[in-house]
Structure 1
Amino acid sequence: MAATPQNPSAATPRRKVSRHRGEGQWAAGHFTPLNGNEQFKKDDDGLNVRTRIETIYSKRGFDSIDPNDLRGRMRWWGLYTQRRPGIDGGKTAVLEPEELDDEYFMLRVRVDGGQLTTEQLRVIGEVSQEFARGTADITDRQNVQYHWIRIEDVPAIWQRLEAVGLSTVTACGDTPRVMIGSPVAGIAEDEIIDATPALEEMKRRVLNNPAYSNLPRKFKTAISGSPVLDVVHEINDVAFVGVRHPEHGPGFDVWVGGGLSTNPKLGVRLGAWVSMDEVPDVYEGVISIFRDHGYRRLRTRARLKFLVADWGPEKFRQILEDDYLGRKLTDGPAPDEPVSRWRDHVGVHRQKDGRFYVGFAPRVGRVDGTVLTKIADLAQEHGSSRVRTTVEQKMIILDVEEGRVDSLVESLAALDLTATPSTFRRGTMACTGIEFCKLAIVETKARGSALIDELERRLPDFDEPLTINLNGCPNACARIQVADFGLKGQLMTDDRGEQVEGYQVHLGGALGLEAGFGRKVRGLKVTSDALPDYIERVLRRYQAEREEGERFATWASRASEEALS
């Protein structure tokens, strides 16, 4: 693999960007930091901040933290300052960072592949109760996020997590983020290939590795051998998707350059088939291309998707083969369409060993430490030592004997964790929102939960697969562009002329099956209070106008603007 280019040893004074310095690509010799983020990364590797947290900041308190550590390098260990309470959405883009910062942190725990033992889940729950005021949200990248973390407690939390094999390393920052994977890897009856060995080797090679700890921006990875396409592969920087090659058998199709945020792009195929053993080398090659050729001048163009869009998949593959792998890759087939319209693994399903797994739906990913410890207890009481998280903010208990399934389902339901959720409970996701996020403009979690209840009351018989994704700002952490109803938080003026929370609406987005971005109707905005009325009205119109078997996304793409308003 290509070596990391040497950074200049001495800090270079920042100066106005000139045209000849291009996009700040290391491979082009542009090592001079072109913005503050690149400067603090050059001054000190983000991985090194752990020592300062353990020896200085946790002992001297919040006020002792260097600003470049506080709002920069601490992310390399999963820490973000959370939003100070009482700051409304209208001030999000106005206030300086120090005015938005609370003296508490969000701490993100990596759950690569969504894989947890019951012992690990219990520790996550106990840490939540002891240090995080009970918070422990399941994210749409299979992680767990705490809030209300004090810097004084971080070393103790790390000790507790790492004792059971968990970590927060590079859970945030300009780094290889969590590697999402099929939550039923190795057990699903219909699996093409179990990607777990490749995922473990990728982790071994890049996590906590200084060769990959200074990327232009975050780097998102997905790998799955499931035919239901359960890792949103189209919106990751790199993804490995299970396929069967007509000559070489099961392996992976390689995708690069996906991502959402304010400039969304779907990933593209390289047209290459790779075996299980080849995946880690290809992964290192792709991440090295991003490190060396990625754009570092402007943060808004620093994701891999912009490089892929400029190069195209043919050039990207050529450089990967010639400069990083030193060999040609095998051409291969595209993945088939997903075999299921739901890809969250909710419900009761037989495993290939004859036992069962049970998938269930927390409300918009919101749980708490007490519930997580109870889930761990229930799993063990029913003979299981393994649980999983999904990219839809759901959870799964594996390895349940047939005779214990009904008892487990009933026990989960008593915790308001249903394995037979309504369409609305099953399909609604929400980001963190203004409660804790410094970028957010509106509330999301409570709004999403209340919306589920209201839609269940109004449309009790609606059973078509449907996704409703609520996001507190334009950055698309909740994947608004690829949902049936994608709701982007913003402030708006209501009928009384008052400024209230509301949402811009995206309609008919999808991943997996006819993947594409949602449609925006000109001027369509909905206040938070009017959301139930709006969604009910559109869904009743869909029910009246759809053709037999027509998905909501398909109908929304052809419906009149009047029908969608």
Structure 2
Amino acid sequence: MSILEKAFEARNSKVNKVETTKALKKPMDVYAKLEEIAAAGYEGLAKEDSAYFLKCFGLFDKGEDFMLRVRVPAGQLNYEQALRIGEVAQKYGNDYIDLTTRMQVELRYLQIADIAKVLQELKEVGISTFQTGVDNPRNIVTDPLDGIAYDNIIETKPIINELQDIFGENPDWISVLPRKFNTGILGSLSNSCNIFGHDCCFVLAQKDGIFGFNIYLGARVGVQAQDADLFVHMDEVGLFYQSLLTVFKTYGYRDNRNKNRLVFLINDVGIENFVNAIKEEANAEFSSAGTTMVQSQNIALGSNKVLGRNGKFNYKIIVPSGIFSGTDLIAAAQAAKKFGTGDLRLTYDQNLYIINIAKDVLEELEATELITSYEKFNNLYFNDMIACAGTATCSFGVIPNKPDAIEMAHYLNSEIPIENATVRMNWSACPKGCGVHGIADIGFEGCKAKDDGGNKVDGVHIFVGGKITRKAKEAHTLHKALPITEAKHHVKYLLKTYSAFKQKGETYEAFDDRYVSANYSFQALAFYTKINYILNEKLGLDLWFKLESNPKTFKKEEFELFTFGLKLFKLLTGEKRYESVENFEPVLTKPRSITRDEVTKLNPKVPAKLSEVIYTMTHPEKRERAQVFSELIVALKEVD
């Protein structure tokens, strides 16, 4: 522990303002006065209550109203609970519900006078909102088909119940951590809850013929969790988890809020020393890691009807950007009771399942008004889309986000409809990354950009190549600050390539590994989408500049740049730039005069600026050629 003590002392000579606020009172004292606060209205609300303490119970003051996070352990709701949440949304919250990536719900537009009534009505059906905000252990996520799916090895809900009992509504655990703490526990082979993206990840594993969990620790936005080289048995999870939280509570940093997540402590002391501290706290010697069994994405991706091992079907309702309503949640609960067991499962990707439906009533369920109203979203672009709250409901949002995600999904589906495919597209409205854009196949982070006229507009940074598999990795930036109106075209050409060259049933992630990232640098890919945007959307030439499956450029930028130039020349003029090319150098077996406006002479539709760009890419003298794609992308902005 001495190493952790030294790290703690080095970082905690001065605490942040939130820690000062936390010292003013106990959260439960504020909770006990909710009825008084509700009766007095905003005049009865202390500044620190609004700024911090009410957030411990999921209540976020939005100025004119409140947002409430409702805790749904494992994303599982019974009939009474789903019905009650829907009724509360109808009665108090403008009939609005957000489904979130922590497999829970958010109610919005609640008035301060109704807060105590809302919490009481939820409590009557066993629903808690405790510890869904600020410095607390947040809702625990798992496979939405936990205990149902064929690939589910360990049912985790009983374990999650045990962990809930440790902290849940225990006053000793409310607001005692240095920062928020996210947890995932997955007992399935499919990665259906971004299992490597939490502060603490219990990942299905096997050791010596026994199934349990390997431990991964310290994820945050932009960083996936580290392998802790630990294996815990099912009956050890509770002890390990409480010991982990205790160590974090004791030694976690409380100075800079931006650097107080668990990962910063682990990075400073080293994962091995941190694990030893947990073992010491637990007074237990946990085993070294076994074999991690989670290898893939959800095996049911792309399907909204999943057969469970009990012989019953589970129907997935695709909810665009997680925007739902109390009315529809009530309808879902009623459908679940009529056609199944009355139970619903919320998902990490902001959708929900009606579970345990007999085959002979499945068609009847599909014919209901609820299902038919959401059927139009059952396509590639909505199935695996995630979008966090944007400017309409979040003060940190830079762009509207949810509407942007929906609009782009509709556009892409109309332009490039693809069957039997999977593309994970995640949207975050700001750098905080609540839409987990960093692990998406194609991710978007909201920003401001400039259009062709120099006007400031809503934009996105585009990311590609994120992974949620066992070799999880963060996406790479493809483009920065593109207007959203332009960004959709760049994405279209990525998906056009996928549609044309994917193998049967191949996910975008697998396709990218095999076809795109395996052969091209990110710089080349950025140029590829930009040049297609110029050729087709700006110039209207209706020419698709394709990526080859085996370009033989070894992902070396100067080679990629030169060969791209040669292909563009031929695409636009029908002629070869040189008679032959060996070792990526021009061999002029039939020399002829080459001028900067060569392309424009051969194809009058090509602007002089684009002709100059291609000439720069293929200059006979290597030292005179452009060296990097980035300078060409800048030059392409001047093409009109």
Is TM > 0.5 for Structure 1 vs Structure 2?
yes
Identity, % of aligned pairs?
25
Which moves more between the two structures, 287-296 or 530-539?
530-539
Alignment counterpart, residue 517 of structure 1, candidates 474, 485, 494? 474
1:124 matched to 2:89? The reply is no
Paired residues in the alignment total 515
Among residues 185, 193, 214, which one is paired with 1:231 in the alignment? 193
Match of 1:535 in 2: 491
In the alignment, which residue of structure 2 is the partner of 1:526? 482
- Looking at structure 1, the residues matched to 112 and 148 of structure 2 have their Cα atoms a distance apart, in angstroms, of 40
Q: TM-score of the superposition, structure 2-length normalised?
A: 0.77
Superposed CA offset, 1:472-500 (max 9, x none): 11000000111111111111211112111
> 2:57 is matched with which residue?
77
SS of structure 2 residue aligned to 1:113: helix
Aligned to 2:32: 51
Does residue 67 (structure 1) correspond to residue 67 (structure 2)? The answer is no
SS in 2 for 1:103: coil
The residue number in structure 1 matching 2:568 is none
State how far apart, in whole Å, the 2-side matches of 1:189 and 1:278 are. 25
Equivalent of residue 562 in structure 1, options 502, 506, 527? 527
Quote the Cα distance in structure 2 between the aligned partners of 1:420 and 1:151. Answer: 35
CA contact (8 A) 1:192 1:243 kept: no
> Which residue does 2:386 correspond to in 1?
429
- Other-structure match for 1:36: 17
| Secondary structure of 1:59's aligned partner | helix
Matched, 1:445 2:413: no
Would you say the 8 A contact 1:507–1:553 is kept in 2?
no
Is the Cα–Cα contact under 8 Å of residues 128 and 369 in structure 1 kept in the other structure? yes
Separation in 2, partners of 1:437, 1:270: 35
CA drift at 1:35: 1.6
CA distance, structure 2, for counterparts of residue 420 and residue 367 of structure 1: 13
Asked whether the 8 Å contact 1:348–1:419 carries over to 2, the reply is: no
Q: SS at 2:477's partner residue?
A: strand
Gaps of 5+ in 1: 6-18, 25-29, 83-101
**Residue number in structure 2 paired with 1:94:** none
| Distance 1:553-1:62 versus aligned 2 partners, 3 A rule | farther
Contact 1:270 1:317 in 2 (8 A): yes
Q: Is the 8 A contact 1:229 1:343 kept in 2?
A: no
Offset at residue 230 of structure 1 (A): 1.8
What letter corresponds to residue 60 of structure 1 in structure 2? A
Q: Provide the C-alpha distance between the structure 2 equivalents of 1:469 and 1:501, rounded to a whole number of angstroms.
A: 17
Aligned to 1:13: none
> Which amino acid in 2 is paired with 1:44?
K
Distance, in Å, in 1 between the alignment partners of 2:312 and 2:529 is 44
Q: Which amino acid aligns with 1:374?
A: A
Amino acid at match of 1:491: K
Q: Which amino acid aligns with 1:404?
A: V
**Between Structure 1 and Structure 2, which shows a larger proportion of helix residues?**
2
1:104 aligns with 65
1:115–1:537 distance in 2 versus 1, CA, 3 Å: same
SS of 1:50's equivalent in the other structure is helix
SS of the residue corresponding to residue 481 of structure 1 reads: helix
Higher relative contact order (CA 8 A, sep 6+): 1
Q: Is 1:461 aligned to residue 422 of structure 2?
A: no
- Structure 1, residues 205-237: CA drift from partner, whole Å, max 9, x if none? 111223322211101011120110222121101
Inter-CA distance 341–205: structure 2 relative to 1 (3 Å threshold): closer
Give 1:229's aligned amino acid.
Answer: N
Instruction: Specify the code of the residue in structure 1 equivalent to 2:200.
Output: V
Distance in 2 (CA, whole Å) between partners of 1:525 and 1:190 is 41
**Contact kept? 1:230, 1:343, Cα under 8 Å:** no
- Corresponding residue SS for 1:473: coil
Segment drifting more, 310-319 vs 294-303: 310-319
Counterpart-to-counterpart distance in 1, 2:427 and 2:228: 32
Per the alignment, residue 587 of structure 2 pairs with: none
Asked if 1:243 corresponds to 2:223, the answer is no
User: Which residue of structure 1 aligns with residue 11 of structure 2?
Assistant: 23
- Looking at structure 1, the residues matched to 229 and 70 of structure 2 have their Cα atoms a distance apart, in angstroms, of 34
Pairing of 1:355-374 with structure 2 (within 5 A): 355-374=312-331
Q: Which amino acid aligns with 2:481?
A: K
Distance (whole Å) between structure 1 residues aligned to residue 173 and residue 360 of structure 2: 47
2:223 and 2:22 mapped to 1: Cα distance? Answer: 27
Structure 2 runs not aligned, ≥5 long: 531-640
Matched, 1:221 2:221: no
Counterpart amino acid of 1:77? Answer: F
- The residue number in structure 2 matching 1:385 is 342
1:417 aligned onto 2:374:
yes
Give the residue type in structure 1 aligned to 2:26: D
Please provide the CA RMSD for this pair.
2.2
For 1:197-208, list aligned pairs within 5 A.
197-208=158-169
Whether the 8 Å contact between 2:399 and 2:446 is mirrored in structure 1 is yes
- The whole-number CA distance in structure 2 between the counterparts of 1:490 and 1:384 is 44
Structure showing greater Rg = 2
TM-score by length of 1: 0.87
- 2:142 is matched with 181
SS in 2 for 1:121: helix
Name which of 225, 231, 253 aligns with 1:267. 225
Whether the aligned pair in 2 keeps the contact of 1:346 and 1:360 (CA below 8 Å) is no
Contact 1:259-1:265 within 8 A present in 2 as well: yes
